[in-house]
Structure 1
Amino acid sequence: MAKDPKNDKSSRDTHYATLRRQVRDAKRERGEIPTPQPQRHRKPAVDWTPPQLAPDQVQLYGLHTVRAAIENPERKLIKLSVTQNALVRLDIGPVDQLGFPVEIVSPQDLDKVLGPDAIHQGVMLETRPLPARRLDALKDNPLLLVLDQVTDPHNVGAIMRSAVAFGAGAVITTMRHSPTESGVLAKSASGALELIPYIQITNLADALEELHKLGFYSVGLDSEGPAPMEETLSGDRIALVLGSEGKGLRQKTRDTVNALARLDMPGAIKSLNVSNAAAIALYATRQHLMKRKA
C-alpha cells in the first residue's frame, strides 16, 4: 500500500525545508538579513572595509531610521538608494515629488556599501549631518542627559530612544571617545536621532559649569553614590550625567557635578548596562519634575 505523503516524515521535512527557504528568501529581498554571496566568491567579513565618507556625509539605513530622517525638515538629503520592495514599505509618496534623487537597487548593492552585517532592510539614505546645537539653546528644557565618554553607538542609540520617550531636551556627549552621527548610531536609535538634539562638546567639565549657570542641577550616577537618586534630585531643571561602560564617571566629572547618586537595587546584581540605567534614571527624574510642577 502506498504511503500517505502527509504522514511520511521525509515528505514533511522536505515541505518544511521549502517553507523555511521561502521565508528566508523573502527576508533577503526585503534586506532584513544579509544576502550571502556565492561560496567561491565570498570573502570573510573582516575583508570588507567601509567606504571613506566626507566629513559632511552620513549614510543612514533601516526603514524606521530613513523614514524619520526624510520626515525631519532639518535634514539635508542627498540620495536614497532603495529596493523596490523596501520603497513600498517605506511609504513616502511618489518619488518624483521627493526633491532628491532615488535609485532602485538590489539588496546585494547595499550589502557592498554597508557591509555584510548591516540590517539595512533594503534602504540607505545619504544625507548631511544634522546642524550643530548650542548649550544655551537648552535653557528652557527641564531635563537633559549628559554622557561621559559612552563609546558604544548601540548604547548611545538606545539611550536616545529612552531620552525621547521621557521628554529629555538633549543628549550631550564629548567629541572624543563618543560615537559621531552614523548609520549604526541612527539604526540603534531607530528614529530618535531625528527627534532630539545630539550635542557633542569639547570639554565636559566646562559644559557642566555652563549648564549650572543656566540653572541646571547636575546629578552623576554612581553605583557607590552617597544617597539614592530619589533623595538626591533637586530643583526644576535636572542634568543627568552617566559614565562610560565599565569605568563609569571620570574623576573630573565627579568633582564637577552638583551631586552623586546611586540607583538602589535590592537584587544580587548591583550594576546595570548604561542604557538601562539611563532609562530608570530618566523615569525617576521625570517623576520628580512632575511632582515639582504639581
Structure 2
Amino acid sequence: MPGNSKRRGAMRKEGTKKGMVVGSGGQRRRALQGKGPTPPAEMRPGHPAARKAARSATGAGKSGKGGGGGRATAGNRRKPGDGETPETVLGRNPVVECLRAGVPATALHVAIGTTTDERVAEAVHLAADAGISILEVPRHDLDRITGGALHQGLALQVPPYEYAHPDELLEIASESPESGLIVALDGVTDPRNLGAVVRSVSAFGGHGVVVPQRRAAGMTAVAWRTSAGTAARLPVARATNLTRTLREYATAGFMVAGLDAEGSVSLDDFELAADPLVLVIGSEGKGLSRLVKQTCDVTVSIPMAGPVESLNASVAAGVVLAEIARRRRR
C-alpha cells in the first residue's frame, strides 16, 4: 500500500512528514508550552503605550509632591544646559576667538602632526592659561569627533550653556538700586544677534536677557564669541512661554515695551525709559509676534532719516538701550 512504512522491506526516509519536523515546536509531550494570551499594550516592556503610561505615572507622582503649582520655583527650575548637548567649535580662527572671549570650554583637541602657526600656538597658550585640557589625538580620531567637517587640526569642546530661570532675572532686577531693565527677544534665530544683544545689554546697565525656548537662537559658542565674554557676567534665561513670562513681569510692576516700526510712541518721546522696563525686540523680518505685541503696554518706533524699513535686531537693541541709558542718567 502506498505510504505504508510498515510493509515488508519499506524504509522511511528522513525529511518526510511523519514525526517531528524542524520548526514545528515538537508534538504531544515534547511540544513547546504556549505563553498564554498577549498582554495589553500598556503592559508590554518597550511598547510606546507602556512608555507613555510610565511617563504619566511619573508625572502624577511629581505633581502630587509639588502641591499642584504650575509655575516653576527654585526647587524645580530647569537644569543647566536645558537638555542641549555639548558643542564643538572647529577651525583655527573660531577656536582662537572663542578662547579670547573666555568661552567656558572643557577640552582643546589638537591633531597630531598639525602644522603649527601663530593661531595654533595662541590657542594652546590660551587653553593652558585657562586650565582647559589639551588633548593630542590622531587626525582620524579628530575626523570622527567632528563628523568629517573641516577642522584644520583644532577643535574646542564647549559644554551646554547654563541658562537662568526668568524668575531669577526678576529678582536681580528688583533688588538692584537702579530701575530694572530686562531685554526679551522674540523670534531672533541668529546666535550672532543674540550675542551682540547680550553685549549691548551689559554695556548699558541691563540686568538680563530672556529668550524663548523654541524657535529662537540659544547661547551657542557663536553667541558666546559675539558677546565678547559678557555672557559670563550677564544672565541669560530661557522662557517656556514668552508671553506668559512677560505677563508675570508686568504683574511684578515692570512696563513692557516692544520695538515696532509702526509703534505708538517714538523713541524721542519715550518717557517710560526711566521706569522698571522690559524691552521686547522681534526679528528683523517678522517683527513681534501677535500675542507678544498684544502683551506689550506700549510699542516704540525708532525714527530714521534714511530710506531703511528696519534695522538688524542687535543694532536696534543697541540704539534703544543707548537712549534708555541716556534718559536714566538725566
TM norm. shorter chain > 0.5: yes
Equivalent positions of 1:75-114 (< 5 A) are: 78-82=106-110, 85-86=118-119, 88-90=121-123, 91-92=125-126, 94=128, 98=131, 100-104=132-136, 109=142, 113=146
Contact 2:281 2:288 in 1 (8 A): yes
Instruction: After superposing the two structures, state which structure 1 stretch, 259-268 or 207-216, moved more.
Output: 207-216
Give the match for residue 272 of structure 1.
311
Whole-angstrom CA distance in 1 between matches of 2:222 and 2:144 = 14
Q: CA deviation at 1:249?
A: 0.6
Which secondary structure does the structure 2 equivalent of 1:196 belong to?
Answer: coil
- What do residues 222-246 of structure 1 show as CA deviations (whole Å, max 9, x unaligned)? 1101221231341432211111231
Counterpart position of 2:287? 248
Paired with 1:62 and 1:209, the residues of 2 have a C-alpha distance of: 40
Specify every segment of 5 or more residues in structure 1 that has no aligned partner in the other structure, as ranges. 1-53
**Are residue 127 (structure 1) and residue 127 (structure 2) matched?**
no
Unmatched segments (≥5 aa) in structure 2: 1-82
Aligned 8 A contact 2:95 2:154 in 1: yes
- Over 3 Å counting, the alpha-carbon distance change for 1:237 and 1:107 in structure 2 is farther
Map of 1:177 onto structure 2: 215
Amino acid at match of 1:281: V
Count of aligned residue pairs for this structure pair:
230
Which amino acid counterpart does residue 55 of structure 1 have in structure 2? Answer: E
Return the offset for 1:101. Answer: 2.4
TM-score of the two chains, using structure 1 as the length reference: 0.66
* Partner SS state of residue 214, structure 2: coil
Quick one: which amino acid aligns to residue 309 of structure 2? K
1:143-180, Cα deviation, whole Å (9 max, x unpaired): 21111111122222222222222232111110111122
The one of 152, 171, 175 aligned to 1:137: 171
Paired residue type of 2:108: L
Amino acid at match of 1:66: L
Q: Specify the alignment match of 1:59 in structure 2.
A: 88
Given candidates 220, 243, 254, the residue that maps to 2:258 is 220
Q: Is the 8 A contact 1:215 1:237 kept in 2?
A: yes
C-alpha deviation, 1:287, in angstroms? 1.1
* Stretch moving more, 79-88 or 104-113: 104-113
CA offsets, 1:121-146, max 9 Å, x none? 95513324225334333333522111
Contact kept, 8 Å, 2:166 with 2:210, in 1: the verdict is no
State how far apart, in whole Å, the 2-side matches of 1:238 and 1:192 are. 21
Deviation at 1:256, TM superposition (A): 0.8
1:263-283 Cα distance to aligned partner (Å, 9 max, x none): 011222232111111110111
